[in-house]
Amino acid sequence: MLRTNYLFLGELKMKKTKVISVLAVSVLSVSLLAACGSNNSSSSSDKKTEQSSKAEVFAGATQGTSNFSDLQKGFAKNGAWLNATKGDMNASGKTLTVEGLFLGDGQVARKLAIYNQDSSHKITARYTLTVDKIEVKSPGFYISNGTVKGNVDVFATGFHGQTGTGVEGQATIDGNLTFASQDLLDAYNKLPDAQKVKVTGTTSVVKGDVVSFKPGGITAGAHGNVTYSFEGNGTDTKTGATTGTADVSVLKKALGKNGAWLVATNADVDASGKDLTIDGTFLNEKAAVQRTLAMISQMI
């Protein structure tokens, strides 16, 4: 399956004799760039604001817990991407620390599910988790449907909220929301309203150490925990693969599972009758799952 996040046609001219046939065999997003600029809209982002079309599987302790210790273990570096409460939970004075790099539904994500739903995925109850604070050190962390009573401090990219249909209410922070850098806050402010949380207190920047992750090839375990196959570019990334090449053999290797997340051409490429197979799962420089085939020329 080939999922295209961004498709810019621009000045790209593809003749029948110069068609690259692309077969995607990995669970990731592919960007075909053919003009300058970018687009912030994303089907994967929209997906996060909707309830899953299939029943969510809460793995292990994340089937739903009433114990704060179990919830903390679930959000540890060796925990799971999705963790849930069975009802209201009072952990007053305690800190929930969210750490590690995880994939959920093919995207970088950590989900705090504070709700219940019926077989039609309608929200039947929204719960409250009471803590002193949540420290978010995992990218893609989001609060789903319920309320966090306490402060939330964000040190990683991709923080957002999720609110589904059903009983009245929305994802809420009954406290203050802080970001460790202005860039993190600016990225959050650019989100559509449907992906934001209701905040009863203040939203501000309190400078701290932003958690970052390197680009590279990755694999995900049963509960979404990420392991690097390699950091940066793989061994099949030959000279010119990321800066621009017209050599089909170089492109083919770089798009494989030991290649690079960003591959570029510097001229028309005639790969008539050949398949370029995109294999493997990769993180880009912003800790998002992505493969890009850039067929453009642009000014710096």
Whether residue 87 is found in the same domain as residue 176: yes
**14, pLDDT greater than 80:** no
Whether residue 63 is found in the same domain as residue 162: yes
User: In what order do the strands lie in the sheet containing 291-294?
Assistant: 4-7, 30-33, 291-294, 262-264
Helix (H) and strand (E) counts for the chain?
Answer: 4, 24
The reply to whether the predicted model has a pTM over 0.75 is: yes
Last residue of a domain, one of 153, 185, 205: 205
Whether residue 60 is found in the same domain as residue 192: yes
Whether residue 62 is found in the same domain as residue 91: yes
Range of the domain at 272: 4-39+213-294
pLDDT of residue 62: 55
Give kind and range of the element (H or E) at residue 292.
strand 291-294
Whether residue 192 is found in the same domain as residue 96: yes
Whether residue 140 is found in the same domain as residue 94: yes
Task: Give me the mean pLDDT over the 107-131 stretch.
Answer: 94
Q: Give the chain's length.
A: 300
Last residue of a domain, one of 182, 205, 228: 205
pLDDT of residue 300: 62
Percent of the chain predicted with pLDDT > 70? 78
**4, pLDDT greater than 60:** no
Q: Is residue 221 part of a domain?
A: yes
Whether residue 31 is found in the same domain as residue 91: no
pLDDT of residue 299: 63
Q: Is residue 230 part of a domain?
A: yes
Quick: pLDDT tens for 22-50. 333 443 444 444 333 333 333 333 433 33
Q: Is residue 46 part of a domain?
A: no
Whether residue 67 is found in the same domain as residue 120: yes
Q: Is residue 47 part of a domain?
A: no
CA 185 to chain centre: 17
Task: Give me the mean pLDDT over the 263-286 stretch.
Answer: 91
Whether residue 198 is found in the same domain as residue 253: no
Task: Give me the mean pLDDT over the 108-128 stretch.
Answer: 94
Whether residue 8 is found in the same domain as residue 80: no
Cα separation, 291 vs 278, whole angstroms: 8
Whether residue 239 is found in the same domain as residue 112: no
Task: Give me the mean pLDDT over the 252-276 stretch.
Answer: 92
pLDDT of residue 274: 86
Cα separation, 208 vs 130, whole angstroms: 24
